[in-house]
Structure 1
């Protein structure tokens, strides 16, 4: 087997995600044979540093021996069983662990298969909760501009990135959107905190006007990832929690991309010292091994569904692979790595190395901003630095960086004109330096400097 043979077979039968397939007439697919740590290797022996954790899922490196062992051991006893009316050890132990490690008050766990499904569950649970209480007028959701919550129809509706949403607008429920606290747009000299507080005023006004018809507010805590890795201050979450309590509206925290240590704390909500009414988890939950998601919620929500069957208040939502034993075992091993090693301490050192390696990007004539939250660094390319004039999207400057990086053995996948690093937590400082140098050279090429 070689790269060319597998690519030919692939293009004959496969339709790839988030891709314009015609691009692959000029942009060859990269077939991967194996992975180890932060490195992927193709069938011709070329290696690629996985700078984006394979779409933000891989926390502890490819073929991690601890997670490998857990999945292999589970495979010898039980691969899967229906979770309706049945249970198994791994599902119970993982739910116990998630209740233990998530913000206080999140005492019940509902499993699904992926991040979008977790969002659907949280939306439906919130709506259904109010209905079970006899409050039928609450049918709306408030979301932030530039937010992203997934590709299924409910998740897409509460997202706000036009590239993903516009085509399907006729299929989607109406939501209420408010301006994002995204600190890229702050005034010169204005702090992240001050800007986020200022932006919260519009959320407060919206809640005051619409609280009677709103089920929940849904946000990505601290970082709007698919929206260009735009970031904001934790004070916004603190104010939002207070306002949701004041106006009797649920708070849904979408920590699918930012949970499990990515922002510097185990969960991003911790930086605001808040507990949401729902927290949605996936991606890093299994260390990047298997599809699994979970929604954690409160006993108060759970009790609203707990009733005699004939009253028809049950949450009749299911997925065939709910609580899959293999996925739960991978997740247990992932959490065990956090609890037996100083992962967050190590990440602080790696985050400092990322900051140092990207310091010089700040002075680049076509970089408007270098921003960082924990183990996420984003570099925003612009045509004009002084006026922050964006490059026309049709020029696909980020794609040029992507292509150059691949030629140098680094997997970057820019979001438009935003180059970002979101590497596995096992990356070394030398590998961070390599990753940053390749990105620098790619940006030089893409901007004609």
Structure 2
């Protein structure tokens, strides 16, 4: 099981629900540009990042991609089955946050037009943004909640798709109404055991209660790091998620051939930090159990890596 599986399950349930409740014309999905929801056919067809989804255009589900709520409000609602979004922050879009209040506005719009809201909390779930689920920060309850990654603490593959009692009831009755979905390793006993153990440790160690101080500590360290390096154009933080965007001091982007993000991440590895870039944005998703000292070590590794890096003269002037 993985995040793609959770998304696929939500999409299929949303379509079958419409067909079983007298609204088969509602078969369109709305997704956002620059979004990433997985690599399987349905999940990828709703993605908005070209290198992952261009080869699938015209396949999978009928999808309308939008950039913001203003564009959403211009669309005819009567054929829409559901809207899919990563709450609070778009991960693959260089960790860019949504405007504050946007998720609550989207929930209101969906309610007004009887459209389901699917939240992809594969990355943001289980404390990553500072609350158990990101949607709680805007008091939003989705119709489908897609979870993975943090469910087992990252140790074994397991995903889950949660829905409401109202949607669940639409699949009760004879076998023709049942939702058939699964594969050979769905609900793998080892994965389920790891999830139960991880959730128990989450509770015992008061992981959520410990997060605010760690988030503040990380934020202060990122401010200091940015002040030391003019090459850091922007720092985008959402809880224990951070994107550090690198640009030239005048604000222009580095030439793609420089591969700066990759170079800095490789340099940081030599100083004990494993991370990766999205283009020239360095991604930090430290373990929720990281201590302040470990957060300092990660930032120090980036500090050293940025000091060591030099843009090749041939690229800089080419």
Report the TM-score when normalising by structure 2: 0.92
State the partner residue of 2:94. 228
Q: Please say if 1:423 is aligned against 2:289.
A: no
Q: Please say if 1:436 is aligned against 2:308.
A: no
State the partner residue of 2:316. none
Cα shift at 1:405: 1.2
Cα shift at 1:260: 0.2
Contact 1:367 1:382 in 2 (8 A): yes
Cα shift at 1:172: 4.2
State the partner residue of 1:376. 241
From 366, 372, 391, the equivalent of 2:231 is: 366
State the partner residue of 1:200. 69
Cα shift at 1:344: 1.5
From 107, 110, 122, the equivalent of 1:241 is: 107
Cα shift at 1:248: 0.9
Report the TM-score when normalising by structure 1: 0.66
Q: Please say if 1:263 is aligned against 2:129.
A: yes
Of 416-425 and 168-177, deviating more is 168-177
Q: Please say if 1:325 is aligned against 2:189.
A: yes
Cα shift at 1:448: 4.2
Cα shift at 1:261: 0.3
Q: How does 1:206-355 map to 2 (within 5 A)?
A: 206=74, 209-309=75-175, 312-355=176-219
Cα shift at 1:408: 1.7
Deviations 1:261-293 (A, max 9, x none): 000000001001010000000001001111110
Cα shift at 1:399: 1.0
Contact 1:366 1:447 in 2 (8 A): no
CA RMSD of aligned residues (A): 1.8
Distance 1:215 1:447 in 2: 50
State the partner residue of 1:139. 27
Q: How does 1:56-67 map to 2 (within 5 A)?
A: none
Cα shift at 1:234: 4.3
Aligned pair count reads 311
Higher RCO structure, 1 or 2 (CA under 8 Å, sep 6+): 1
Gap change, CA 1:394 and 1:166, over 3 Å in 2: farther
Distance 1:216 1:405 in 2: 41
Contact 2:207 2:289 in 1 (8 A): no
Larger radius of gyration: 1
Contact 2:3 2:38 in 1 (8 A): yes
Of 297-306 and 356-365, deviating more is 356-365
Cα shift at 1:121: 0.4
Deviations 1:92-150 (A, max 9, x none): xxxxxxxxxxxxxxxxxxxxx11101100000100110011121111111111111100
Cα shift at 1:225: 1.0
Structure 2 gaps of 5+ residues are 313-318
Q: How does 1:32-181 map to 2 (within 5 A)?
A: 113-169=1-57, 171-179=59-67
Structure 1 gaps of 5+ residues are 1-112, 180-198
